[in-house]
Amino acid sequence: MLGENGAGKSTLMKILIGLIQPDEGSINVHGNAVRIADPITASDLGIAMVHQHYSLVEQLTVWENVVLGEPSRLNRADACARVVALSERYGLGVDPLAGVSRLTAGQRQRVEIIKCLRREPRIIVFDEPTSVLTPAESEQLFSVLRRVVIDEGRAVALVSHKLDEILHATDEITIMRRGRVVDRLTTGTATAAGLAQSMVGRPVSLRSEAAAFGSIETITQSVDAAPVSDRPDGADASPAGPHAAAEMPVVLDVRNITVIGVDGHRLLDDLSITVHAGEIVGLAGVEGNGQRALGDLLASLVAPVSGSVVVGGKAINAGRPGALSAAGVGIIPEDRHDSGCVLDLSVAENLVLADLDKVSRRGVLNRRALEARAIELMDAFDIQARSPHAPMRSLSGGNQQRVVLARELSAHPRVLVAAQPTRGLDVGAIEYMSERLRRAARDGVGILLISTELEEVLTLSDRVCVIHAGRIVGEMRRDDIDLERLGMLLGGMAA
Amino acid sequence: MIAFAGAIGDVLTSSTMYGSTVRFAALLVFAATGEWVAEKAGTMNISVEAMILTGSFTAAIGSYLGHSVWIGLVFGMLGGLLVSLIQANMSHRLGSNQFVVGLTLNVLAVGLTAYLNAKINPTVTKAGAIKIPLLSRIPLVGGALFGQTWLLYLLFPLIPFAWWLVYRTRWGLEVRSVGESPQAVDVSGIDVNKRRRQSVYFCGLCSGVAGAYLTIGQVGSFGTDGVSGRGIIALAAVILGGWTLKGTVGAAVVFGFFDALRFALPALGHTVNPQLLATLPYAMALTTMLLFAHRGRQPSALTRPFVRGLT
Amino acid sequence: MSAAAMDAGCEPAAIGPARRRSNDRLVRSVWMIATYATCIAVALGLCAVVVSATGGSAAKVFSALLDGSVRSPGAWGLTISTATPLLGVAMGTILASKAGMTNIGQEGQLLLGAAATAYFATRLDLPGPLLITVSLLAAAVIGGLWAGLAALMKFSRKVPEVMSTLLLVYIAFQITTFGLTKKWLLLATVNKTRTNNGEPLPASGHMPVIRLFGNTVTWGVVVALAIAAIVGFVLTRTTVGFRLRMLGLNERTARRAGVSAAAFGGATLIISGMTAGLAGGLWLTGGIAGDRFTSAISSNIGWQGLLVALLARGRALLAILMAFVFAALRTGSGFLAATGVDRRIADLVQAMLVLALLIPPAVEALQNHRRGRAGAA
């Protein structure tokens, strides 16, 4: 099942497992029309799903999570034995007694898989399964998939927006666009370019939008074939190209930062990273390796226990509320609903959160100025909303992201931290975001791009750093990217 | 200072003090155990106060109408349950703010019971004390634990039962999960709000027992100000106990001790300012929370309403 | 009833989109009014049942409530003066709850405020207006300090303010009871007939009154309305109010934008304590509850003010209306004795009304959410 973000893939799959009820239409399972009222019914029909955002309760152990939602009596010994049996059968290496909060993203996914396989489903849905995995883990996942399909005769629906893995792992492809199925074909007859076109509905360049299609090969080809100066976006026009960036002043200098989480866990461990003006530094890494903590640190949401944050040559007390914002560090947070916007305030209000001076005098808000500024920014950043007074909640994800981007860029930051800036956006919105980031870099803003999408990091960055277990484990320039070494670094192996 | 130390010494060697600590603590332990389950599922139930008060009133009515302690107990449980029905359905079906509902119920319970009590003026059949052979002869604590009204003995099965319910049954697993991560639980096919409502009902039943115990086990009559904040202290016990059952029961016993101290000190011949004595349980609840509250890890979704799809 | 309301919300799906929207809005508001009316009717009906079941006459009770609150001569003035402390408490509460702080200890803050007013008004020898100003200021300060304790415990030791404010009510009550046993604190120096009463306030310690059409209203009303106006203005028109709302709606986003929860949240908690304390001062100097301090003086004004705030859902105008309704129930209950029904029935009516008024907005929010989800899916 291929389609860009927002095409309706997840909605369709949620209908299939009973989380959403369709208004019209029918579902046939093994030839019989069925009504799937809730996940229990789906499970009885033999349909199970491995969710994109984890459905695990962190504070419980693995076996408790695996049996959660089953109707039978609780039997610990039996449950553990079955977890172990399944874990051995598929080579997943899961300990039933481990606490989920201590597991890595990849291990958690394996718990999800066991939870799903334990019910012996005949149909398994995988929703964007590789977005949290290292390349090696993805490879392992696909080998498990092949086993359940070939050896055990189960059907697997793989939902993805990444062309590579769809071409690599499937037999048949269904393409969705804007809530409709637009194409069905067997994988053997498909080409990457053709798939991309029917996915987006217009001819697209695989090379310039490789990140949106998750196509690493095209990226590396473009690296090999065309040095940076030939990049389609005209990076050579930048006054501070990647090579020149080293001579530009350092705008953000994070030195030996350690952050401890609530459970005493080291989230960031002696991490150091620098960003020069006009440079895009990509921070690659598998989900859950401290990216969130780094984003929180640079948004003044957590205080480091040691180390310093220097912005434009000045040391900042990072833990003080609003300190980094005031110092000129803009941020597009990983989870905009968590710390990027206030859903119950209006679009206009969300556009000025930290920057009230421009719309107030002596502490009194000037509503006309607020509205005028909102209209100006909505225009400049092409934000679609009913009115500036519409609640933020009523906007689509892509437009909410533009509100955040507009607010952060209009404050003229020295540094812009973009954490997973394109997550959940469609191809058009991804393009727009990428272009804005490049333009900001050309204007001399130092950009720290934190992303788990390797493709995104590789297309946008002048320099790539790899984070693992809260530390920077490797760094390479864009023009000497070594994919093999990168893969090893992502998995935490020194290379 | 010496007088104070002497007083503490007197208190600790007085077996009546142990007895009254247990009597006062029992009310708190009943309610706190119920509230512990409700908080595990994500509700901070300030209407425990109303549940105990209503329970203690309906128990009086039951005992008055049925001339039986048993009927009183059942009525008490029903009274607690009635309040919990309103609390649970308003906060976990309609999604009203749980503090708003709880507070309103507290005001409502005070008004209603005072009004009806003045109208009906029930006389209460008090439950008798039963000495458990052998066990009640243990020095100092024997009489305190095993020479009490039989209603108090309900505690001994209730505590392990609550533990078993929460840690060893599927229902308990689901309750713990909805208090930690309702979104994840919803995806697993569990009705989050239903589990939360059920846990509040459990709290209502336990608090109803607490109320019945107060009226027919401890005091022997219904008093409109008989509860006076003990429900809130039960809540403090859950917080102080760090959301573990052990801790909750322990904290409730400590608060019960200070509650008992109010009556014990004058009885043992120590003159202490009566207002200072009266503040003791509340002040101790505050002080101990001040010292220890930050240590416990509360259920992640405590006090957060769940609506599917809303972040 | 709620199910019927939801059905109506979904029904017009078949009509064309342009007409559907206006139709939908009409249907929705009609249903909203119907829901409110039904809920209030059910609440009052239940109260009537309770009254009848205990041998009273519901009609007489409601009639007496109306007589006492608005119909009898001078009742308006009394009700408005009673609404004064309720509004004061409510506005502080609204401010705090907008910032995400749950102060539910107003009863104690109000009691201490009244005590402070009594202490200074009976001790200082100052000309009238100055005496009142000083003693009311003292009330605000002590109310603020009492709530400040809860703020301090929350932000230094993570004690939930829900618990601490509530527990502090009981302690405040004992403190004033203690004060009433000592002549050097609150106990009247000459006290033959009644025990545990405060010294009567001097004439200059009484709030001056305004006379209007046979009604007397204390100047306290002006103070309370001023508080309402200021809080309303701060919340909707100022940058401080904007930051407070941001904090209440999304603490992390607010922190990132430079709003410290400890500073802003703590300040609003203290301010809500100050208005509750001030309300206590106004209540005492207003003279409705007698001319001297007793430990029963707060008599649920704090709780009721809190309920006013909750029902007003953050809106100053609605708070003024609700304060009046609650005050009417209080003054009305004074006339109940004549009907042979316990005046405590007024508390019951009040609580039932509160529960009834909580239901419609909850149903509406639920409906909106469902509609929104249907639109998105």
List, as one string, the DSSP characters of A142-175. HHHHHIIIIIT--EEEEEBS-HHHHHHH-SEEEE
Same domain, A103 and A38: yes
Task: Please say whether the beta carbons of A354 and A331 come within 8 A.
Answer: no
Are B229 and C167 in contact (CB < 8 Å)?
A: yes
Closest C-alpha to A462, from A449, A453, A451: A449
pLDDT at residue A37 tops 50: yes
Question: Using one digit for the tens of pLDDT, what is the confidence trace for C274-284?
Answer: 999 999 999 99
Are B289 and C303 in contact (CB < 8 Å)?
A: no
Are C256 and A321 in contact (CB < 8 Å)?
A: yes
Please give the single-letter amino acid code of residue C9: G
Please give the single-letter amino acid code of residue C19: R
Question: For residue C139, how many C-alpha atoms fall within 13 Å in the half-sphere facing its CB?
Answer: 31
Domain presence at residue A224: no
Closest C-alpha to A460, from A482, A487, A442: A442
Are B173 and A58 in contact (CB < 8 Å)?
A: no
pTM here? 0.87
Residue C239 to chain A, least CA–CA distance (Å): 5
Residue B170 to chain A, least CA–CA distance (Å): 5
- Residues in C closer than 8 angstroms to A301, CB to CB, are 252, 255-256
Same domain, A109 and A34: yes
Q: CATH number, domain at A68?
A: 3.40.50.300
- Residues in C closer than 8 angstroms to B97, CB to CB, are 310
Are B168 and A70 in contact (CB < 8 Å)?
A: no
The domain tally of chain A equals 3
Same domain, A483 and A431: yes
Note the pLDDT of residue C324: 94
Query: For chain B, what are the domain ranges?
Result: 2-295
- Residues in C closer than 8 angstroms to A353, CB to CB, are 246, 253, 257
Tell me the fold of C73-334: ABC transporter involved in vitamin B12 uptake, BtuC (1.10.3470)
Q: Determine the residue of chain B that is closest to C340 in CA distance.
A: B119
Note the pLDDT of residue C348: 80
Tell me which residue in B169, B188, B297 faces A68 most closely, judged by beta carbons: B188
How far apart, in whole angstroms, are the C-alpha atoms of residue C50 and residue C43?
11
Are C348 and B112 in contact (CB < 8 Å)?
A: yes
pLDDT at residue A166 tops 90: no
Tell me which residue in C245, C252, C377 faces A338 most closely, judged by beta carbons: C252
3-class SS of residue A465: strand
Same domain, A308 and A367: no
Question: Using one digit for the tens of pLDDT, what is the confidence trace for B113-125?
Answer: 988 898 888 888 8
3-class SS of residue B169: coil
pLDDT at residue C5 tops 60: no
Residue B252 to chain A, least CA–CA distance (Å): 26
pLDDT confidence tier of residue A207, bands split at 50, 70 and 90: low
The H or E element containing residue A186 is: strand A180-186
Domain presence at residue A174: yes
Task: Please say whether the beta carbons of C93 and C306 come within 8 A.
Answer: yes
3-class SS of residue B107: helix
Determine which of B185, B188, B307 to mutate to test the interface with A (most A C-beta atoms within 10 Å).
B188
Same domain, A106 and A19: yes
Determine which of B163, B169, B170 to mutate to test the interface with A (most A C-beta atoms within 10 Å).
B170
| Domain B2-295 -> CATH class | mainly alpha
Note the pLDDT of residue C345: 80
Tell me which residue in A342, A393, A394 faces C253 most closely, judged by beta carbons: A342
Same domain, A253 and A346: no
Tell me which residue in A333, A356, A394 faces C242 most closely, judged by beta carbons: A356
Determine which of C174, C181, C253, C306 to mutate to test the interface with B (most B C-beta atoms within 10 Å).
C174
Domain presence at residue A389: yes
How far apart, in whole angstroms, are the C-alpha atoms of residue C121 and residue C142?
15
The backbone torsions φ and ψ at residue A227, rounded to the nearest 5 degrees and listed phi first, read: -65, 170
Residue A270 to chain B, least CA–CA distance (Å): 27
Residue C235 to chain A, least CA–CA distance (Å): 10
Task: Please say whether the beta carbons of C282 and C207 come within 8 A.
Answer: yes
Are C256 and A354 in contact (CB < 8 Å)?
A: yes
Are B99 and C102 in contact (CB < 8 Å)?
A: yes
Note the pLDDT of residue C21: 61
Determine which of B39, B171, B175, B177 to mutate to test the interface with A (most A C-beta atoms within 10 Å).
B177
Note the pLDDT of residue B195: 95
Closest C-alpha to A7, from A125, A177, A174: A177
Domain presence at residue A428: yes
Q: Does B289 touch chain C (CB under 8 A)?
A: yes
Determine which of A68, A70, A125 to mutate to test the interface with B (most B C-beta atoms within 10 Å).
A68
Closest C-alpha to B237, from B293, B177, B158, B169: B293
Are A68 and B174 in contact (CB < 8 Å)?
A: yes
Residue C248 to chain A, least CA–CA distance (Å): 10
Are B190 and A60 in contact (CB < 8 Å)?
A: no
Within the 277-306 window of chain B, which residues sit less than 8 Å (CB to CB) from chain A? 297, 300
Question: Using one digit for the tens of pLDDT, what is the confidence trace for A449-479?
Answer: 999 888 889 889 999 999 998 999 999 988 8
Same domain, A247 and A103: no
Q: Does B251 touch chain C (CB under 8 A)?
A: no
Are B293 and C310 in contact (CB < 8 Å)?
A: no
Q: What is the mean pLDDT of residues C174-193?
A: 81
Are B177 and A57 in contact (CB < 8 Å)?
A: yes
pLDDT at residue C8 tops 70: no
Domain presence at residue A211: no
Please give the single-letter amino acid code of residue C49: V
Note the pLDDT of residue A228: 41
Q: What is the mean pLDDT of residues A152-169?
A: 87
How far apart, in whole angstroms, are the C-alpha atoms of residue B37 and residue B248?
11
- Residues in B closer than 8 angstroms to C304, CB to CB, are 107
How far apart, in whole angstroms, are the C-alpha atoms of residue B52 and residue A446?
61
Instruction: Write down which residue in A384, A411, A438 finishes a domain.
Output: A411
Same domain, A33 and A71: yes
Note the pLDDT of residue A217: 62
Q: What is the largest CA-CA distance in chain A?
A: 73
Cα dist from C31 to A17, C17, C25, whole Å: 34, 20, 10
Same domain, A464 and A435: yes
Are A74 and B170 in contact (CB < 8 Å)?
A: yes
Closest C-alpha to B238, from B20, B22, B46, B17: B46
Question: Using one digit for the tens of pLDDT, what is the confidence trace for C232-253?
Answer: 999 999 999 999 999 999 999 9
Note the pLDDT of residue B73: 95
Tell me which residue in B105, B290, B310 faces C153 most closely, judged by beta carbons: B290
Range from A411-415, B243-247, C191-195, C273-277 carrying the lowest mean pLDDT: C191-195
Note the pLDDT of residue C374: 44
Q: Does B278 touch chain C (CB under 8 A)?
A: yes
How far apart, in whole angstroms, are the C-alpha atoms of residue B151 and residue A163?
69
Cα dist from B188 to A48, A70, B166, C276, whole Å: 10, 8, 19, 46
Range from A18-32, A173-187, A289-303, B266-280 carrying the lowest mean pLDDT: B266-280
Same domain, A175 and A257: no
Q: Domain limits at A146?
A: 9-204
Same domain, A300 and A441: yes
Instruction: Write down which residue in A373, A393, A411 finishes a domain.
Output: A411
Range from A176-180, A418-422, B12-16, B268-272 carrying the lowest mean pLDDT: B12-16
pLDDT confidence tier of residue C4, bands split at 50, 70 and 90: very low
Are A57 and B190 in contact (CB < 8 Å)?
A: no
User: Whose structure tokens read 């999304």?
Assistant: C250
Q: Which chains touch B (3 or more CB pairs under 8 A)?
A: A, C
Query: For chain C, what are the domain ranges?
Result: 1-57+342-377, 73-334
- Residues in B closer than 8 angstroms to A262, CB to CB, are 297
3-class SS of residue A346: strand
Q: Determine the residue of chain C that is closest to A178 in CA distance.
A: C377
Q: Determine the residue of chain A that is closest to B298 in CA distance.
A: A59
Range from A20-29, B136-145, C316-325 carrying the lowest mean pLDDT: B136-145
User: Whose structure tokens read 């941020």?
Assistant: A331
Tell me which residue in A55, A58, A73 faces B188 most closely, judged by beta carbons: A55
Determine which of B187, B193, B302, B304 to mutate to test the interface with A (most A C-beta atoms within 10 Å).
B187
The H or E element containing residue B250 is: helix B245-267
Same domain, A163 and A200: yes
Question: Using one digit for the tens of pLDDT, what is the confidence trace for B191-205?
Answer: 899 999 999 999 999
Q: Does A51 touch chain B (CB under 8 A)?
A: yes
Closest C-alpha to C248, from C266, C261, C267: C261
Are A337 and B190 in contact (CB < 8 Å)?
A: no
User: Whose structure tokens read 């009525």?
Assistant: B75
Domain presence at residue A335: no
Which residues fall within 8 angstroms of residue C302, CB to CB, at 6 or more apart?
Answer: C89, C105, C106, C107, C108, C109, C110, C111, C169, C276, C279
Are C159 and B293 in contact (CB < 8 Å)?
A: yes
